[in-house]
Amino acid sequence: MVDLTDDELLAELGATIEPQKARSHTPREERIIAGFEDILRFHEEHGRAPLHGEGRDIFERLYAVRLDQIRKLPEAQTLLAELDVHGLLTGASPASEGEELEDDALLAELGVDDVTETDITVLKHVSSREERRAAEEIANRTPCPDFARFKPLFDQVQREIDTGVRQTRPFELKAEIRPGSWFIVGGQTAYVAEMGEVYSNAQGRTDARLRVVFSNGTESNLLMRSLQRSLHKDEAGRRITDPSAGPLFGGAQEADDLASGTIYVLRSHSQHPTVAEHRSIIHKIGVTGGAVEARIANAAHDATYLLSDVEVVATYKLFNINRTRLEKIFHRLFGAVQLDLTIPDRFGQPVKPREWFLVPLQAIDEAVERIKDGSITGYAYDPASASLKKTSST
């Protein structure tokens, strides 16, 4: 007996094979389908169609209103025929147990703001299936097996954000998503570790598969457009700039920049026991755009200066200083050895002076030099040796 192929067997039976045509839907149709799928899930869970009524769950009431709206759509019978296994579209409208509310009123009870689109039949509050898939890709993460390799990078980027070498800015363009780029999405720092070949999807839009590693030790192989949608939808979503963007010194002036200024280091003449015992290593580090002498003229009457005269032990002239970033750098470096001291002010009120640190002058000298050349991000202050040490990630 001669073996026949599948096609030949079908031909003997008089059957023909037609390639299944891929069906695409408009955004409106996607939302109608997605809205109806919510209603189907409710039916599968409760064994009935959703009902109206003030005594019922707010979501059931929302689904009941939505089912009424879908039944009125002329295209619904054809569009949803394959999905309507429970005959929901042909069934009678659920009996009302109270005043019916429209989508907007129900959503207002849920605390959802209204939008400008007024055509309720568009189902404007329903995410399309494509949008849901994007959200699921972001949420569907797996443990990153080689996260130890990425952890130092995350630590370094966080230090660079803290010191102003990197900044976080609103996400704008898909072109910002590339290998080596950093983002904040879903409350996690995200690193694009790899990007596959760029291709055109069914809608003619460019896309690519990514390997994205997150700061909590997970990763996700999501599409570039999925990450783009998630960043746009996340109100707290941000991109993290490259280190070259927004330097501490140089370039264009910003709102908190000083055209020129001075970093000054002070030593106190206070007779407070703690200060007297450690006077040689207790220093105040500050920044001023004017004369240091004018800044400290009233030190003996100012709790900021420990209500005592001070001496200037070092000054560093710098240009185009961003005061906020500079303060962050010093607090990151020397925060662990900040002087913990409370003194009464002139009115007897307790005051805790800031910007005084238990750190020797040579460590401050080195810190300023490393701030100027940009290498400070790879260093941390070691209290045990009273010096700057390279971090493990450099």
User: Looking at the predicted structure, is the pLDDT value of residue 124 above 90?
Assistant: no
Report the alpha-carbon distance of residue 337 to residue 359 in Å, rounded: 7
pLDDT of residue 319: 65
Which residues make Cβ contacts (< 8 Å) with residue 108, sequence separation at least 6? Answer: 114
Alpha-carbon torsion (318, 322, 328, 331), positive or negative: positive
Mean pLDDT of the chain: 77
Predicted confidence band at 283 (pLDDT cuts at 50, 70, 90)? Answer: very high
Please choose, from the candidates 262, 286, 279, 185, the residue with its C-alpha nearest in 3D space to the C-alpha of residue 230.
Answer: 185
For 86, the token pair is 């429970």
pLDDT of residue 267: 94
- What average pLDDT score do residues 275-303 get? 87
pLDDT of residue 137: 52
pLDDT of residue 369: 84
- What average pLDDT score do residues 323-331 get? 78
Which residues make Cβ contacts (< 8 Å) with residue 73, sequence separation at least 6? Answer: 32, 121
Report the alpha-carbon distance of residue 41 to residue 35 in Å, rounded: 10
Predicted confidence band at 144 (pLDDT cuts at 50, 70, 90)? Answer: very high
Report the alpha-carbon distance of residue 337 to residue 382 in Å, rounded: 10
- What average pLDDT score do residues 171-179 get? 82
pLDDT of residue 352: 85
Helix (H/G/I), strand (E/B), else coil: 383: coil
pLDDT of residue 7: 60
Phi, then psi, of 275 in degrees rounded to 5:
-65, -45
Structure-model confidence comparison of residues 16 and 315, the more confident one: 315
Q: Calculate the CA 56 to chain-centre distance.
A: 37
Report the alpha-carbon distance of residue 168 to residue 370 in Å, rounded: 23
pLDDT of residue 393: 54
- Per-residue pLDDT of 183-199, as tens digits, reads 999 889 999 999 888 88
pLDDT of residue 132: 52
Listed range (26-35, 126-135, 190-199, 273-282) with the worst mean pLDDT: 126-135
How many residues does this entry show for the chain? Answer: 394
Query: What residue type is 332 in one-letter code?
Result: R
User: Looking at the predicted structure, is the pLDDT value of residue 154 above 90?
Assistant: yes
Percent of the chain with pLDDT over 90: 20
Domains of the chain are 27-126 (no CATH), 139-240 (2.30.30.30), 257-390 (no CATH)
User: Looking at the predicted structure, is the pLDDT value of residue 375 above 70?
Assistant: yes
User: Looking at the predicted structure, is the pLDDT value of residue 134 above 80?
Assistant: no
Structure-model confidence comparison of residues 262 and 214, the more confident one: 214
pTM reported for the whole predicted model: 0.40
Q: Which helix (H) or strand (E) holds 60?
A: helix 58-72
CA-to-CA separations, 138 to 176, 190, 191, in angstroms, rounded: 18, 11, 13
Query: What residue type is 281 in one-letter code?
Result: I
Please classify residue 260 by burial: count the beta carbons closer than 10 Å to its beta carbon, then call 0-12 exposed, 13-18 middle and 19+ buried. Answer: exposed
- Per-residue pLDDT of 24-70, as tens digits, reads 678 778 888 888 888 888 888 888 888 887 777 777 888 888 888 88
| Residue 108 and residue 114 in contact, taking contact as beta carbons nearer than 8 Å | yes
